[in-house]
């Protein structure tokens, strides 16, 4: 019985198209000869499209994307300080718009130190954890405003919105993830200062914990969590946290594990009511765009997350194995983006 | 002409009293025989006092403290999970109440890697920067609330409040600090997501920059800033950021520079309309309270910041020199809290 997966591909800006090419190459290679095939539609979205048409993401774009089974995204965002982009916020208008519209309430960001990868930490130890970042609430809701804007009397507010509904579903996902891993869950928040949001997160975690007696629960303030990220990252298994704390912690996680060039992520709607989206954590790096200098590994590892999400666990494991293999043999001699992709494809059949 | 400084001392909980004893010892030693003397009043505040009286900080406490010239604080907070403290929030009710009531709009947190101190970073390089954290606005204002609390329909909000008035004064302080150091200022925010607060911060920095043509200005998103903290912390001179981002970044800064046991801070009211408050960044560590295991160095370095604030630059420099001296000769053999204080006092006269 063959299966066709409709995949929306958003290469985006800067190095996005280059790394996505390699990711697609690996996706095709790992599923070649299996009963799964991908029907790809490419969407030209991002800074470039905005400059050409004035549109960031139209309702039609959104509808078309939503009709797919999954999304693979490279990176979006033009050159920082480009005056032609001053009026647009590609991040909010495209990336966050997709996450919110498609109800990607789980932002899944695994961190591993792969054998052979140098960490900036002197003694990182064995690092293998997953951050489950909430994706549709918190300070990301866009619920802010300002008065007397541009004057010496300006007041600018940002509202972090947190609901029991929204917190519970992501907390539940995190508990299940912990159960399937090493049974340890760390809630990260700032309950001593953000007392209302903090109490809600704490209460929900306490409540859901009752259903997961096999999972050990731990709590850290976000400031203290950053300390453990550099002094003892091996202590973590699964972390669950809000949208903003998760954003900060996962960049730090990328850094300690040998660079954001290896960090993959999934924006997941676990209910399957809309397509989930997989993307490297890194940005569009316009300064090296088109030079074949970008490392496509994070995009390729995002393909592994995509395959896992589609229930293709074997194919996902093959990709991770090939990447691990390739990383272990890296010599430090720079390779072109496509060479890395080719090497990983070659490693698939080892 | 002799000068008497009225100093309010808040030893607090846990290891607070122990580290404050040593800090006072150093303060007395470095000013002995000079024309400056300290008239100290000790305030018993913190979890212990709350358990005894039910009060966290009364109006009378606040008035009495405010009538001093400066404040030295150890650490506050009881044992985590102590059920008798469940109803109190010592952090909000005492520490933040002091910062807000006394208008400590500059939270000054210097980071240095002292010679001889091992960093968790393999190659930290030369680290010497200052975080100027806003202290009276942002998500710390306590402007949150919840509805349907405790039910599956709860909504909990937290409002980050940012004013041109509040941002400008701290930004101005940061520019002046950069001018007196290496002339480099980095604004850290999350302008692409928190667009209202972010625009305000960006605008004010751009405006004040015109008055400081000798200061180079740089911008980083908070997530990217954490990456540089572990990959290239030597690039920073002065950072200016909001209350919450500053909280997170300074714990990380403490960690990369060899531990929160060395991190000092000043909660400063640069206008002098109320006493500034100096405290180690670390907490009360109730687990080791009373065992003489705490390192008083951060409290002692807070005394250096206090002396600097009082215009006693020479005494401040002596304390920093003595601490640097002591740190350089540390062997790894644990010393008692009082031994470290004594050693630093001895190093004062080297
Ligand atoms: C680009 C930006 C809006 C985004 C975020 O803050 O979520 C990015 O930093 C990320 O982590 O995916
Ligand atoms: C104890 C807590 C309220 C405080 C803060 O968040 O400011 C602490 O973490 C600090 O950095 O001084």
pLDDT (0 to 100) of residue A241: 98
The span from the CA of A315 to the CA of B95, in Å, is 53
Position B1 confidence tier, pLDDT thresholds 50, 70, 90: confident
The label of the residue with tokens 């720079």 reads A334
**By C-alpha distance, which of B94, B82, B79 is closest to B43?**
B94
> Cβ separation of A96 and B193 shorter than 8 Å?
yes
Distances, alpha carbon B120 to alpha carbons A111, A252, B110, B115, B201, in Å: 18, 14, 18, 14, 32
Q: Could you tell me the end-to-end alpha-carbon distance of chain B, in angstroms, rounded to an integer?
A: 27
| Atom of ligand 2 lying closest to residue B95 CA | 3
The structure tokens 């991908």 sit at A38
Interface contact flag, B154 A200, Cβ < 8 Å:
yes
Angle between the N-to-C axes of helices A337-348 and A297-309, in degrees from 0 to 180, rounded to the nearest 10: 40
Name the closest ligand to CA B80: 2
**Pocket test residue of B188, B192, B225 for ligand 1, highest count of atoms within 8 A of CB:** B192
CB contact under 8 A, A150 and B203: yes
Partners of residue B154 in chain A, C-beta under 8 Å: 163-164, 200
Nearest-CA distance B283 → chain A (Å): 10
- Run means of pLDDT, 10 residues per run, chain A, 350 residues: 94 97 98 96 95 95 98 92 86 95 98 93 95 98 97 98 98 98 98 96 98 98 97 98 98 93 96 97 93 97 98 97 95 94 95
Cβ–Cβ of B155/A162 closer than 8 Å?
yes
DSSP for A142-197, please give it: EEEEEESTTSTT-EEEEEEEEEHHHHHHHHHHHHHHHHHTTSEEEEEE-TTTSHHH
- Starting at the earlier edge strand, list the strands of the sheet with B128-134: B36-42, B3-12, B70-75, B276-280, B264-268, B106-112, B128-134, B238-241, B184-189, B216-221
Distance from residue A6's CA to the centre of ligand 1 (Å): 25
Does domain B1-105+262-350 sit in CATH 3.90.1150.10? no
The DSSP secondary-structure symbol of A313 reads H
Q: Which atom of ligand 1 is nearest to the CA of A92?
A: 3
Q: Sorting pLDDT into bands at 50, 70 and 90, what band is B332?
A: confident
CA quadruple B47, B48, B51, B56: dihedral sign? negative
What residue has token string 């400081």? B212
SS3 A120: coil
pLDDT reported for residue A12: 96
Contact in structure between A38 and A274 (CB atoms under 8 Å): no
| Domain map (residue ranges) of chain B | 1-105+262-350, 119-257
A226 near B226, Cβ under 8 Å?
yes
In eight-state DSSP terms, residue B274 is: S
- Residue range B3-24: mean pLDDT, rounded: 97
CB B263 within 8 A of CB B282: yes
List, for residues B276-323, the tens digit of each pLDDT value. 999 999 999 999 999 999 999 999 999 999 999 999 999 999 999 999
Task: Tell which residue, A106, A48, A131, A142, has the closest CA to residue A277.
Answer: A106
Is residue A330 a known part of a binding site?
no
Output the pLDDT for position B350: 80
* Pairing label, strands A70-75, A3-12: parallel
Q: Angle between the B313-328 and B297-309 helix axes, to the nearest 10 degrees?
A: 160
The rounded distance, in Å, linking the Cα atoms of B268 and B278 is: 8
In this predicted structure, the answer to whether residue B79 has a pLDDT above a threshold of 90 is no
C-alpha–C-alpha distance, residues A157 and B200, integer Å: 10
pLDDT at residue B318, rounded to an integer: 98
Of the residues B55, B128, B251, B342, which is catalytic?
A: B251
Q: How many residues does chain B have?
A: 350
Residue of B nearest to A89 (CA): B192
Please, how many CA atoms are within 13 Å of residue B159, restricted to the half-sphere of its CB?
Answer: 14
**DSSP tag of B93:** I
Q: Is B138 helix (H, G, I), strand (E, B) or coil?
A: strand
Ligand nearest to the CA of A131: 1
Q: Which residue in chain A is spatially nearest to B189 when comparing CA positions? A: A248
Rg (chain A; Cα; Å)? 20
Structure tokens given for A232: 């003892």
CATH class of A119-257: alpha beta
CA gap B68, B45 in Å, rounded: 16
| % residues pLDDT > 70 (chain B) | 100
What's the confidence (pLDDT) of residue B331?
Answer: 87
A162/B163 CB distance under 8 A: no
Task: Give the closest of A154, A168, A226 to B164, CB-based.
Answer: A154
- B225: pLDDT strictly greater than 80: yes
Residue of B nearest to A250 (CA): B223
> What separation in Å is there between the alpha carbon of B150 and the centre of ligand 2?
26
Measured from the Cβ of residue B81, the count of other Cβ atoms closer than 10 Å reads 8
Distance of alpha carbon A306 from its chain centroid, rounded? 11
Cβ–Cβ under 8 Å, residues B177 and B130: yes
Q: Answer yes or no: same fold for A1-103+270-350 and A119-257.
A: yes
What is the Cα–Cα distance from B260 to B279, expressed in whole angstroms? Answer: 12
Q: Which residue, by CA, sits nearest to atom 12 of ligand 1? A: A281
Q: Which of A78, A94, A169, A223 to mutate to test the interface with B (most CBs of B within 10 A)?
A: A223
CATH topology of domain A1-103+270-350: Isopropylmalate Dehydrogenase (3.40.718)
Res. B87: pLDDT tops 80: no
3-state class of B70 per DSSP?
A: strand
Q: Closest Cα to residue A238, out of A318, A161, A182, A296?
A: A182
From chain B, pick out residues whose CB is under 8 angstroms from the CB of A244.
190, 193
Whether residues A164 and B155 touch (CB distance < 8 A) is answered with: yes
d(CA A78, CA A80): 6
Asked whether the predicted pLDDT for residue B88 surpasses 90, the reply is no
Task: Answer yes or no: B242 catalytic.
Answer: no
Rounded to whole angstroms, the Cα distance separating B247 from A222 reads 9
Give residue B69's pLDDT. Answer: 98
Mark out the alpha helices in B81-221 (DSSP H runs): 90, 97-101, 164-180, 195-209
CA of A247 to the centre of ligand 1 (A): 6
Which residues of A are identified as catalytic? 140, 190, 223, 247, 251
Residue among B304, B284, B252 nearest B131 (CA): B252
Give the C-alpha distances (Å, rounded to integers) separating A172 from A101, A240, A325, B180: 21, 10, 33, 51
Q: Which two tokens stand for residue B141?
A: 């204002």
Out of B152, B190, B203, closest to residue A165 by CB: B152
Shortest CA distance from B259: residue in chain A: A227
pLDDT at B43 over 90: yes
Ligand number, closest to the Cα atom of A244:
1
Tokens coding B33: 């025989």
Active-site residue among B237, B242, B247, B308? B247
What separation in Å is there between the alpha carbon of B120 and the centre of ligand 1?
27
Cα B213 to Cα B219: distance, rounded to the nearest angstrom: 16
- All residues of chain A having their beta carbon less than 8 Å from the beta carbon of residue B87 are none
Number of inter-chain CB pairs under 8 A, A vs B: 197
**Ligand 2 environment, Cβ below 6 A:** A 192-193, 223; B 91, 95-96, 247, 281
**Closest chain A residue to the Cα of B203, Cα to Cα:** A150
Cα–Cα dist B178/B107, whole Å: 15
DSSP β-ladder status, B3-12 and B70-75: parallel
């Amino acid at each position: 019985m063959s299966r066709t997966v409709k995949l929306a591909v958003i290469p985006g800006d800067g190095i996005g198209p280059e790394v996505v090419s390699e990711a697609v190459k690996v996706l095709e290679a790992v599923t070649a000869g299996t009963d799964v095939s991908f029907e790809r539609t490419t969407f030209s979205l991002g800074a470039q499209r905005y400059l050409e048409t004035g549109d960031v993401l139209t309702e039609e774009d959104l509808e078309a994307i939503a009709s797919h089974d999954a999304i693979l995204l490279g990176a979006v965002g033009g050159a920082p300080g480009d005056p032609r982009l001053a009026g647009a916020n590609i991040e909010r208008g495209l990336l966050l718009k997709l996450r919110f519209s498609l109800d990607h309430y789980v932002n899944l960001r695994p961190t591993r130190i792969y054998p052979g990868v140098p960490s900036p930490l002197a003694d990182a130890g064995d690092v293998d954890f997953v951050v489950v970042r909430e994706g549709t609430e918190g300070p990301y809701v866009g619920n802010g405003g300002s008065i007397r804007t541009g004057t010496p009397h300006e007041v600018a507010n940002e509202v972090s919105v947190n609901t029991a509904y929204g917190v519970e579903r992501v907390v539940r996902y995190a508990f299940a993830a912990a159960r399937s891993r090493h049974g340890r869950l760390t809630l990260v928040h700032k309950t001593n200062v953000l007392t209302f949001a903090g109490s809600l997160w704490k209460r929900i975690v306490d409540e859901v914990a009752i259903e997961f007696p096999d999972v050990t629960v731990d709590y850290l303030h976000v400031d203290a969590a950053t300390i453990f990220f550099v002094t003892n990252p091996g202590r973590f298994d699964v972390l669950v946290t809000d949208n903003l704390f998760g954003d900060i912690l996962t960049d730090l996680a990328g850094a300690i594990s040998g660079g954001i060039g290896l960090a993959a992520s999934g924006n997941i709607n676990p209910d399957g009511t809309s397509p989930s989206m997989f993307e490297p954590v890194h940005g569009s790096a316009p300064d090296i765009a088109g030079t074949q200098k970008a490392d496509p590994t994070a995009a390729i590892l995002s393909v592994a997350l995509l395959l896992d999400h589609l229930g293709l666990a074997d194919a996902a494991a093959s990709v991770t194995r090939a990447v691990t293999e390739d990383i272990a043999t890296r010599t430090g001699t720079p390779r072109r983006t496509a060479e890395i992709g080719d090497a990983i494809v070659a490693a698939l059949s080892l």
